[in-house]
Structure 1
Amino acid sequence: MPLLARMVGTPLAIDIGPGAIEALAPLLADRRISSGGHVAVAVGPGQGEAIAAVLRPQLANAEIIPVQGGSVEAAMDLSRGLRSGFYDALVGIGGGRTIDVAKYAASLAGLPMVAVATSLAHDGLASPVASLTEGGRKMSFGVQMPIAVVVDLDYVRRSAPEMRRSGIGDAVSNLSAIDDWRLAERERGETVDGLAVTFARTGAMAIIDRSDSIDDDRFLYALADALVLSGLAMAVAGSSRPCSGADHEILHAIDHLFPGSANHGELAGMAALFTCHLRDDADTAAHLDACLAHHGLPRVPADVGLTPGQFAAAVHHAPSTRPDRYTILEHLGLDEREVRRRVDAYVGAVDR
């Protein structure tokens, strides 16, 4: 009998909701990740430390390890510590940088990793990709996806509003990435995975036209689901392709040329809006623009402290950040003068 289905790798458990942290120890035991709580717990600054204090009575055999920053060096330091001990798993608690460090360190050490997210800033919480800095540049590394994902909405609500807004920008930018992937299919014969596209698009569409806000429970559930679906899309595709196109090339260029302008998701949303204008996709641009405006996300370069000239420089530099990726930027092949003309037209259309 022919095999008419395929196996899709996913986390063993995904727990999203208020009070989810309180169920972490039972989750580790019930899923046979660590029956005795012999785990290393990597905690980031801020809420990660507060959560670690809550978990200590539950996980008496755990070792708490503070993690600072989001660099390859921090991940390698953590990995060396993991290899020198005896742990069933690594639990990473914190925001995106801490979880990415934990994912990379766990992969190096050959340990399963549990992601406990204190914010919903980007789609890395369930993805097989770690975004880390190396030599002053942001790089993406393939890693094992988390064996379990926990999102406690009580802690998410306490995160800075810009962190929750950032997750929105990252989720809806999937629409731009999907268009770029389809373009690469048409122009270069690149294989597109329809299931990965379905996951990525479903996450974006669940967010883009909502009228509620980052302070509403229903919205936070939807946002968490969207970011998890994005991670699953990348796992199915075997790369970040369904969630990272020209928009992410542009944001990485901004991070390199003008570091500190804004956070990841805020830049992703704005860059995705720009790429819609490059494609003359008025319908998607209208929905995306309305979503960004509704949630107070950046829409034009001035919103993140950049001039049109600086943004144009980032757009021109963007293809060099992912030379293996074909997007609308590579397709158009715009020179500096034409990039600046397109940026000015985009700013004029949006900022009015």
Structure 2
Amino acid sequence: MPLLARMIPAPLVVDVRRGALAELGAILADQRISTSGRVAIAVGSTYGPIVQSTFRDGLAGADWFTVDGGTINTAIKLVEQIRRERYDAVVGIGGGTVLDVTKFAAARLGLPMVAVATNLAHDGIASPISTLDNDAGRGSYGVPAPLAVLVDLDLIAAAPVRSVRSGIGEIVSNLSAIADWQAAHALRGEEIDGLAISLARTAAEAVMNHPGSVSGDAFLAVLAEGLILSGISMVVAGTSRPSSGACHEISHAIDLLHPSRRAFHGEQVGVGAAFAWFLRGDSSAFDATVHCLHRHGLPVRPSDLGFTLEEFEAVVGYAPQTRPGRFTVLEESALTPSRITAKVNAFDTRITAVLESR
């Protein structure tokens, strides 16, 4: 009997540990990504000088480019800069903004991309999506996933702790997104992918159930690996569905309605996930999400993000418009303005009860 299998594009290398950055040159050569070291390296203004000093005596064939901002115009500018010379690959070293810009540029140039993460704010580390600001607000662009992914825990430990905690909210929201996807399958016949769901769920549960915190390497490694798995789940599914549901619609609505008041993406989707579980009426998942976010010092209620309940009501009402055609608990609940007000107030009250019960 023949064995049938699907081919899944995945990174050639996933390296999560202290000192991983120093192995970049060796990985480029050993994996035949660039045996000559002729690569374009994009860095942010914060870590750029530090990273360049690491390779003062190596990667002599590399050219360095500084990414300033996460806009579509910044990405196009990087494309034009890199296009002037011939390179084997593009390397992005930085946080989510740098990696998203670099992924987009590499896609436009038809070059393989290597991601080196300096923080763990969201799951864009290994995802096939580049999120960039544009004239309409913010857009998500499909791109090839990175060919190799490095996470140097030395750099992660030096990153602002708030940005690292943000990744916890991002990964925890997977469980809510999966529930939305499964509901869309049951109620609308939308096709789902069991392997993608397994990857996204495993990543989320590993982080939620880990007893450690962002101060320990063991937890940081699990968080990094979880975010990478979450990105790969999107590659498998061919859509962001395994990690993006009502939680992300709420975050996108905040970005569009209050661009000057954005929190970290993972902070916003964490609150969005808690609200989605509340709407779904799953008290067990709601309590677990609230406890996890609170334990790690993440926002739990709208006021933690700096919004009044009335402002959050407007966010919830606008959220479905951010992903037209995507069926989540927000669309399933058919929320009217009066019901949104009642649900948001009940949500806030329930969080207080859950936290006081501990």
Partner SS state of residue 21, structure 1 = helix
Q: Secondary structure at the match of 1:351?
A: helix
- Residue 167 of structure 2 aligns to a residue whose secondary structure is helix
Determine if the alignment matches structure 1 residue 279 to structure 2 residue 280.
yes
SS in 2 for 1:173: helix
User: Residue 33 of structure 1: SS of its match in structure 2?
Assistant: coil
Cα distance between partner residues in 1 of 2:109 and 2:3? 35
Q: What's 2:148 paired with?
A: 148
TM-score (norm 2): 0.97
User: Residues 278-336 of structure 1: CA distance to partner in whole angstroms, max 9, x if unpaired?
Assistant: 00011111111110010010000110110001111001000000002110111112011
The corresponding residue for 2:317 is 316
> How much does 1:49 deviate?
3.1
Equivalent in the alignment of 2:356 = none
Task: Provide closer, same or farther for how the CA distance between residues 202 and 48 of structure 1 changes in structure 2, counting only shifts above 3 A.
Answer: farther
Q: Is 1:108 paired with 2:108?
A: yes
Partner of 1:26: 26
CA distance in 1, matches of 2:8, 2:284: 33
Contact 1:103 1:144 in 2 (8 A): yes
2:295 matched to which residue of 1?
294
Instruction: Please identify, of 103-112 and 134-143, the stretch whose mean Cα deviation from structure 2 is larger.
Output: 134-143
| 2:45 is aligned with 1:48 | no
The residue identity in structure 1 corresponding to 2:343 is R
Worse-matched range after superposition: 6-15 or 114-123? 6-15
Partner residue, 1:198: 198
> Equivalent residue for 2:37?
37
What percentage of residue pairs aligned between the two structures are identical?
Answer: 48
Question: Which sections of structure 1, spanning at least 5 residues, go unmatched?
Answer: none
- Bigger Cα displacement from structure 2, 140-149 vs 53-62: 53-62
Residue 318 of structure 1 aligns with an amino acid whose one-letter code is: A
Q: Give the Cα–Cα distance (whole angstroms) in 2 for the partners of residues 312 and 15 of structure 1.
A: 42
Q: Which residue of 1 aligns with 2:269?
A: 268
Spell out, residue by residue over 1:78-121, the C-alpha distance to the aligned partner (whole angstroms, 9 max, x if none): 11222221000000010000000000000000000000100000
| Cα shift at 1:181 | 0.2
Specify the code of the residue in structure 1 equivalent to 2:105: A
Question: Which residue of 2 is the match for residue 85 of structure 1?
Answer: 85
Residue aligned with 1:56, SS: coil
Structure 2 letter corresponding to 1:142: G
Shift of 1:27: 0.2
C-alpha separation in 1, matches of 2:120 and 2:48: 14
Give, in angstroms, the shift of residue 9 of structure 1: 0.9
Q: What is the TM-score with the length of structure 1 in the denominator?
A: 0.98
The one-letter code of the counterpart of 1:234 is M
Query: Shift of residue 29 of structure 1?
Result: 0.1
Letter in 2 for 1:104: F
Asked whether the 8 Å contact 1:165–1:295 carries over to 2, the reply is yes
Give the Cα separation in 2 of the matches to 1:324 and 1:105.
Answer: 28
Segments of 5+ residues of structure 2 without an aligned counterpart are 354-358
Contact kept, 8 Å, 1:178 with 1:197, in 2: the verdict is yes
Quick one: distance in 2 between partners of 1:302 and 1:46?
A: 30
Aligned to 2:221: 221
Q: By how many angstroms is 1:136 displaced?
A: 5.0
How do 1:67-86 residues align onto structure 2 when only pairs under 5 Å count?
67-86=67-86
Deviations 1:248-298 (A, max 9, x none): 000000111122231100011111001000000111111111100100100
| 1:303 correspondence with 2:304 | yes
Equivalent AA in structure 2 for residue 294 of structure 1: R
Structure 1 residues 5-14 or 142-151, which shifts more? 5-14
Query: Within 2, Cα distance between the matches of 1:52 and 1:245?
Result: 38
Distance in 1 between residues matched to 2:3 and 2:324, nearest whole Å: 36
Q: Give the residue type in structure 1 aligned to 2:292.
A: C
Match of 1:212 in 2: 212
For residue 249 of structure 2, what is the amino acid of its counterpart? E
Note the C-alpha offset of 1:155.
Answer: 0.4
Question: What is aligned with 1:184?
Answer: 184
SS at match of 2:41: strand
Correspondences of 1:333-352 after superposition (within 5 Å): 333-352=334-353
- The one-letter code of the counterpart of 1:340 is T
C-alpha distance in structure 1 between counterparts of 2:119 and 2:6, whole Å: 32
Distance in 1 (alpha carbons) for counterparts of 2:52 and 2:112 = 19
Distance 1:69 1:324 in 2: 30
Q: In the aligned structure 1, how far is the partner of 2:48 from the partner of 2:347?
A: 40
Contact 1:261 1:305 in 2 (8 A): no
Matched letter for residue 269 of structure 1? G
Instruction: Please give the secondary structure, in 2, of the residue aligned with 1:73.
Output: helix
Tell me the SS of whatever aligns to 1:99.
helix
Which residue of the partner structure matches residue 175 of structure 2? Answer: 175
> Is this contact kept in 2: 1:112–1:147, CA < 8 A?
yes
Kept after mapping to 2: 8 A contact 1:12/1:31 = yes
3-state SS of 2:253 partner: helix
